[in-house]
Amino acid sequence: MEIDLIVFDMAGTTVHDGDAVHRALEGALAAAGVRASREQINAVMGMPKPVAIQTLLAEFRGQAVASDRTVEAAHDDFLRRMLWHYGSHPDVRECPGASEIFAWCRRMGIHTAIDTGFSRAIADAILARLGWREAGLLDATVASDEVARGRPHPDMIQHLMAATGVTDPARVMKVGDTPVDIAQGHAAGCRYVVAVTSGSHTEDELRPHRPTHLIAALRQLKDVLGLEAEEGVA
């Protein structure tokens, strides 16, 4: 399998945060008067967080769209909760095998990159906490507020391809734990779109979105990279 670039998601894929995203979204929405269930929040996981918040606020209030001011206030609340959590909470750590697989990819000549539905402020807090950039494990990162469109659109993957000099999406792999990660990979034309079942969604929830491969842990990417491409889910 010839791959030049792997684009990894953050929360739930490479970063374990103790369910912080769900809890922060739930808290910020509750402060705005909306009581969202876990299933409803799960449906917007992976999206840019202002879009996720706007979607849920509008849905609960029976509106086409929520007002910009309401969304901005809820997102600011979410941002404060997440920055505190990623800066200090003991639950924050890398998912098992993340540094190992980053280093292995680098040894194999494969670029490693991170994309995220978080803003740059949250992404930098996570990266500072885990030390991946300082350790030289990542070639590039991009946050959803640094491109015109976040997931499920292909903009972040295209940004990372440009940053690493990769021109052919058939030589790119996307790895994530949500349906919108899978949709993003397909939208970008990635030949391989790998879904990780150890994050926010189960295998049964991810399979209908047609990942090319399903894995239970990041370390299994070594096996995926050693396989010949097959049609459908491996």
| pLDDT at residue 66 is higher than 70 | no
Distance in angstroms (rounded) separating the CA atoms of residues 187 and 180: 10
| pTM for this entry | 0.82
Residue 43: the pLDDT is 85
Assign 232 a pLDDT band (cuts: 50, 70, 90).
very low
Q: What is the pLDDT of residues 146-167, one digit of tens each?
A: 999 989 999 999 999 999 999 9
Residue 142: the pLDDT is 98
Mean pLDDT, rounded, for 125-134: 93
Residue 65: the pLDDT is 64
- Looking at every residue in the chain, the average pLDDT score rounds to 89
Give backbone dihedrals phi and psi of 154, rounded to 5 degrees, phi first. -85, 5
Phi/psi region, residue 19 (left: phi>0; alpha: psi -120 to 50; beta: rest), is left
Assign 63 a pLDDT band (cuts: 50, 70, 90).
low
Q: What is the pLDDT of residues 47-57, one digit of tens each?
A: 888 888 988 88
| pLDDT at residue 124 is higher than 50 | yes
Strand order in the sheet with 5-8: 140-143, 111-116, 5-8, 172-176, 192-196, 213-215
